[in-house]
Amino acid sequence: MWVLRGLRNGVLTTGWPGRPDVYANATRGPATVKPGPAAAALPAAEAARLCPVDAISADQDGGIRVDQGKCILCGRCVAARPDVFAWSADPHRATLTRPELVVPAAESPDALREVSDRLRVRTRALRRSVHLRHVDAGSDGSEEWEIMALLNPVYDIHRLGLFFTASPRHADILLVTGAGARGMAGPLRETYDAMPDPKVVIAVGTDAVGGGIVSPSYAVSGGVGDIVPVDVWLPGSPPSPFAILSALLTAVGRIPASAGPLTSAAAGDAR
């Protein structure tokens, strides 16, 4: 019976990022600003009132910006002003600096290139077999479900040479979820210190990036970057498995940071 079911269903494992996947762009990402006159005409104060977590602000020129690292995907801005705001769909959302999550981008290309080059040099040895350690630093559990999905037959991260490990002494990448609970600061730092060099830290989700809707408070810090040095910032509440895969491949240099849709060369390298 199982053989017949397998023949009937075929291979369900995605070929992404080596091959396109229609579901990769189907998951709602953080809000973004649409280009055009509507955004320029919207008063900054009115736009800011649309966001319960202060992710919308004005830039120096009076334009509208969205901090995707704060966005909790509530949808208020998109529902109220669909002419100005939209959902991002590209799974390649991970960045190498926290300010780069503010869109439209404000960081200079030269500065971003320098950060990217430093990370690439540091992780040059991490290519074919990379081990991951996950730490929950005060999560609501949503990011954990997406991380667990990476192990199912649909995503199967083992095909990309990525493996979870229970010991930080065997880990190359530290995946951190949660708002940075103060009670987890010590264990998180101990895990980081126990990892051998070179090591990479990825803040997974809006809570890990900036503390989420519960920050600031007596219980949590302003995100995990206050506890350990973060190399890759991944927004989303929660980010999809495709976005997490993209962040992992960005961390080890298999795809460029803020790549957008993969080029054929990059896809071949990530395969």
From CA 34, how far away is CA 222, in angstroms rounded?
Answer: 28
Percent of all residues in the chain with a pLDDT value above 70, rounded to a whole number? 89
pLDDT of residue 271: 41
Instruction: Give the structural domain span for 144.
Output: 99-270
Residue 156 falls within a domain, yes or no?
A: yes
At 124 the three-state DSSP class reads coil
The pTM assigned to this predicted structure is 0.88
**Quick one: 135 and 73 in the same domain?**
no
Residue 5 falls within a domain, yes or no?
A: no
Each residue's pLDDT tens digit, 36-85: 888 888 888 899 999 999 999 987 777 899 999 999 999 999 999 999 99
Closest CA to 55 of 42, 44, 63, 66: 66
pLDDT of residue 158: 94
Each residue's pLDDT tens digit, 130-177: 999 999 999 999 999 999 999 999 999 999 999 999 999 999 999 999
pLDDT of residue 125: 75
Residue 172 sits in a domain whose CATH number is 3.40.50.12280
| pLDDT tier for residue 262 given thresholds of 50, 70 and 90 | very low
* HSE-CB of 186 using CA atoms within 13 angstroms: 1
**Quick one: 109 and 227 in the same domain?**
yes
